[in-house]
Structure 1
Amino acid sequence: MPTHSPFLRRLLAAAVAAGVLAASAQADVIAATNPSAIPAQAKARKDTIVGAISAPQGIFNPYLFSNGWDENVTEVIFGRLVGLDAQGKLRAEQAESWQVSKDGLQYTLKLRKGLKFSDGSPFTADDVAFTLTFLHDPAYDGGTDISLAKIKGGDAYKAGKASSVEGIKVLNPQTIQITVTEPGATTLQLIGGPVLSRAWYGRGYQPGKLDDLRQYSSKPLGAGPYIYDKFVPGQEVRFHANPYYFAGKPAVPNFIYRITSDATKLQLFQTGETDLEGFSINADNIEQLKALGFANLNIYNSSDYSLIEFNHNKPALKDVRVRQALTYALDRKKLVDVVYQGYGSVATLPLSPVSWAYDTKGVNPYNFDPAKAAALLDQAGWKLGSDGIREKGGQKLVVTLLATKSLFNDALIPIAKENFKRVGVELRPEVSDFNALLAKRKAGNFDLATFRTSGLNDPHDGVARFRSTENEVGYKNAQVDKLINAGNGTLDIGKRKAIYHQLYQVLANDAPLILLANRKLLYVNSSRIGNYQPDVFNGIFGSLPKLKIQY
């Protein structure tokens, strides 16, 4: 078991009291009624489990991906030093234990004995030091903001003023010590993430030049439960069991991610071509899946939220009145009712109701109000033209919306088009696959973009996108930056909750995006698969190494 300092024990106790370890993290299970109905095609697959994934891009590095589906692949390959259990408590994985000094400024992580990467090479504290140093590289542009950890000397290294990061110290092959300049609520999870092999990823790597390191994104090497075999775009990602996995080689020799879509997933599961799948949650899907007889249904609260992002670099959207108007103009309750049929709610905060930081008191909910939307657009100088579309300075108020093909967006697009037209705004949807959406977004070729966040384990995860240093769409607010940093800068749950409550009020008033929905999740597994227990903190990954084939 991990060794916690009194500092961390107090933090965990406070989290329990605040409700972070809520029962809502657990799944409600509707058990299969007729396992004998398992399709013959699935029964014939004696040594392989097939899961489902939507749109991997092929960048399989836990610190360089830009696509959440690629992140799902890296979870299979890499594992973590420190993870979370099904209740959200810190869990020792590749790190055997950790200690934190009383002042919260020094972390000492001890690795498990005999750790190896999946090629059999040693996994040591040098690899951890290499990973953390790489995250401070001047050219690093991935999604992990290691600056939040406040590692001593990190800024100097990133600025090219030092040849190493002062606060990273390897004590021996099994032990690494990290010194930080400020306590941080997310520090342990930041320094306890996936580890890159220095021998593999460090070949040819030079600080400030990431091209050599990036080339290994298509040839990943990790220490997780399964080893990467190959990626066939549009079809599948294949893996085989890692004999060097710290918890023992998984019992099932092979794992496959089959690429599915809303249009194909039910058929593939029904015919036995997949064993694990996620579905949009609604009464129709639940009844269809129950009727199969061989499906176990797992229903639990998600920790993500869906959204419409504004491109703040576009002149019309720089005006907060326009952003507020578009939020009031959208009937989000109708959207949630149509899509989730009682298994979702309109999102008011940039986090899930399962979080201990959830508090909507005093936060503008932006209830559907076309009259208020129209008044705000009038105030912003956008006047109705003869064709019913607003104009200002000879420019029509026409906005593009980047979206992917999905059941959610199939409902969102017509509702949004109708709602926006009612207040004099023309919406032009551009539907593409997720990777094309990301490319357009990165190039800035959009007004609005809709997608869903990854799972959020800490309230900081839900607001990090609003920091000026991390925001990719031009949003800047000094007060927001200050509150985000303050919320991550203390480990006192009570103080954090008060800071986030203030932050949510500021964000609501500034309307940097349109929050859409919180939802429940529906994951199913064929009853031929045992030990499958998805949870809000880990999804399928907490179960993956322990899965077994029963039939």
Structure 2
Amino acid sequence: MRNTGAAAVLGALGLFATACGGAADPPSGGPAAGGTFTFAISADPGVLDPAMGILSVTNAVLSLAYDTLVQITPDGKIVSGLAEKWDVKPDSVTFTLRKDVTCSDGSKLTPADVAANVDHITDPATKSPVNGVLVPTGMKAEADDAAGTVTLSTPKPFSFILESSTQLFVVCGKGVKDRSVVARATSGSGPYTLTEAVPSDHYTFQVRKDYVWGPDGATTKEPGLPAKIVMKVVPNEQTAANLLISGGLNGAVVLGADRARLEATPGITKIIKGMGNGQFFYHQGDDRPGKDPAVRKALTQAVNLKELAGIATGGTGRPATGLVMDPRPCQGDTVTGHVPAFDEAAAAAALDAAGWKTGADGIRAKDGRKLTLRLVYATTKGTGVEAAAEYLAAAWKKAGADVKLNGIIDAKLSETLNATQDWDVIWLPIGAPFPSQLVGFLSGPAAPKGANFAHLANTRYEKAVAEAVLKPGEEGCKLWREAESALFDNADLVPVVENTMMVAAKNAKFDVIGNMFLPLSVRMTEAG
């Protein structure tokens, strides 16, 4: 993985993977013919070139107009997309493309088009933020137009080479030769085409009636599929909730207090979905208290993580079970039984044993140095995170630490992690579709020379990862799970809670997976 600013990329991945699969419970009415489906997005998507899109809001918009080689179902199954079959090897995957796929301008999709997309992303001159994050570092593409195949390969084995292609939106038609075409328009093979773009207000898409190559043969001829989809920019959640209730929206994602209001509103269907972990890391630099695993474990034992989880999410979270977002390529709980349990007495005894003795002022010290912790958190993440930081500070002060709270804006996180590195503990949400995308942040060269911002050096993790990357897909899953658990056993980072969000709908139903809005799942429904 490239050495990109740790906070910037972790934040982007967290935004990128904002939901897991599932469908809203259907309203009582039946399918409604045609119509317009209006969905709230929290910010303007910006440049629409898929090579530059890493935020969830951008990819939600792009998912209407672009297809991927294969797709993933809400339960994690890989199904057909542009490719009808595929052959996976540890360091390559060969896709056989469907022969009936056309771009929105009427041109046929070719293997060369797919290869051109990969070449464009991996070209250093492009400066694509998805290179080395969503597209594996060093990936190359080889097209065989006569055979109808394209082969994607990596310099060394890559566990999720097939799964990573579910993230690659394929530009075709005019956009392949002239990428400026897709800066404010679309040129893809997806089921909808962008017809109107009003930045910071709305983006309107028209259905393609000739679309028949969706996942597992899905088409745009299904009853209730909307003729138009409008992605409406609504930055304020309260406004979005108001519009949903009044009928000005058909769908929205709500994270905060308005969830309770929607929950009590008749006619609104809703489901709760995961959207990344709330967790904290210990700095393990040579001059930091967190360098000593005994201190990390003791500090973790001093915190009631269940109470902390409720505070951080306002009671809307659920137990964390791993680092990777749903639908995970490697299913299973890597957290339970691997995080030091809450035990204040054991924490105090462990700190005593590690040489940190309580002074007359109640602050522990060792070799004349006080146990001081600078706790960093993002002030822009909401009142729950600030309250969680205050709760942590109180627990650690009770255990004998002098805790200094340092709330900063998101824009300063990268500087704090990579440049100044002036922190001891940081509350840092994290999320990625594949565990391989986190390796550079959890091992390897430490910041500022590398992306390993917490200076982690977990030999069990590194050993398991070294073996896991040599095995594709499920073969390596046991090792990837072992690697994650090794981090928790060692209290390198502490998963506290899985954050959740409400996906709400009115007179419609739809699915989302990760950042992907699934346009072919949308159904307009008559009011019940």
Check the 8 A contact 1:55/1:435 in 2, yes or no. no
Partner of 1:123: 109
Name the TM-score, length of structure 1 as normaliser: 0.70
C-alpha distance in 1, partners of 2:343/2:230? Answer: 49
1:421 aligned to 368, 385, 397, which one?
A: 397
Partner of 1:240: 205
After TM superposition, list the pairs within 5 Å mapping 1:233-382 onto structure 2.
235-241=200-206, 243=208, 247-248=219-220, 251-262=226-237, 264-280=239-255, 285=259, 288-299=261-272, 302=274, 304-310=276-282, 315-316=287-288, 319-321=291-293, 322-338=295-311, 344-347=317-320, 349-351=322-324, 357-360=331-334, 363-374=337-348
Whole-angstrom distance in 1 between the partners of 2:134 and 2:516: 29
Percent of counterpart pairs with the same letter?
A: 19
User: Once the 2 structures are TM-superposed, how far is the Cα of residue 177 of structure 1 from its aligned partner?
Assistant: 3.0
Which of 142, 145, 160 in structure 2 is aligned with 1:186?
160
Count of residues in Structure 1 that have an aligned counterpart in Structure 2: 481
Comparing 213-222 and 305-314, the one that deviates more? 213-222
**Cα separation, 2, equivalents of 1:217 and 1:175:** 28
1:400 to 370, 376, 379: 376
Task: State how far apart, in whole Å, the 1-side matches of 2:161 and 2:314 are.
Answer: 39
Q: Does structure 1 residue 78 correspond to structure 2 residue 102?
A: no
Question: SS state of the match for residue 495, structure 2?
Answer: strand
Change in 2 beyond 3 A, CA 1:330/1:435: same
Distance 1:544 1:276, change over 3 A: farther
Q: Distance in 1 between matches of 2:286 and 2:248?
A: 45
> For the Cα contact (< 8 Å) 1:56–1:69, is it kept in 2?
yes
Superposed CA deviations along residues 2-32 of structure 1, whole A, max 9, x for unmatched, are xxxxxxxxxxxxxxxxxxxxxx965583x65
SS across alignment from 1:83: strand
Does 2:518 correspond to 1:542? Answer: yes
Counterpart of 1:132 (choices 118, 141, 155) is: 118
> Match of 1:277, as an amino acid?
A
Distance 2:272 2:248 in 1: 22
Query: Unaligned stretches of 5+ in structure 1?
Result: 1-23, 36-42, 156-164, 204-212
Sort the Cα spacing of 1:479 and 1:195 in 2 relative to 1 into closer, same or farther, 3 A.
Answer: farther
State the partner residue of 1:516. Answer: 496
Could you report, residue by residue, the CA deviation over 1:197-250 in whole angstroms, capped at 9, with x for unpaired residues?
5854665xxxxxxxxx79966666544344455464xx5452322537554496
How far the C-alpha of 1:422 sits from its partner, in A, is 2.5
Offset of residue 353 of structure 1: 9.0
Cα distance in 1 for partners of 2:202, 2:301 equals 42
More displaced 10-residue stretch of structure 1: 504-513 or 139-148:
139-148
What CA distance in whole angstroms lies between the structure 1 residues aligned with 2:347 and 2:180?
Answer: 46
CA distance in 1, matches of 2:235, 2:371: 41
Give the drift of 1:72. Answer: 3.2
User: Taking structure 2 as the reference length, what is the TM-score of the superposition?
Assistant: 0.72
Contact 1:483 1:503 in 2 (8 A): yes
Q: 1:118 to 1:380 in 2, by over 3 A?
A: farther
Change (3 A) 1:28 1:326: farther
CA gap 1:366/1:237 in 2 versus in 1, 3 angstroms: farther
User: CA–CA distance in 1 between the matches of 2:173 and 2:353?
Assistant: 58
**Code of the aligned partner of 1:308:** F
Structure 1 position 50 matched with structure 2 position 31: no
Deviations 1:157-176 (A, max 9, x none): xxxxxxxx5x6233339432
CA contact (8 A) 1:403 1:437 kept: no
Q: Cα–Cα, structure 1 residues 442 and 292, in superposed 2: closer, same or farther, change >3 Å?
A: farther
Q: The residue matched to 1:113 in structure 2 has which SS?
A: coil
Aligned equivalents of 1:323, 1:56: Cα separation in 2 = 41
How far the C-alpha of 1:451 sits from its partner, in A, is: 4.9
Q: Relative CO higher for 1 or 2, CA cutoff 8 Å, sep ≥ 6?
A: 2
Query: In structure 1, how many angstroms separate the alpha carbons of the residues matched to 2:142 and 2:150?
Result: 7
Match of 1:224 in 2: 190
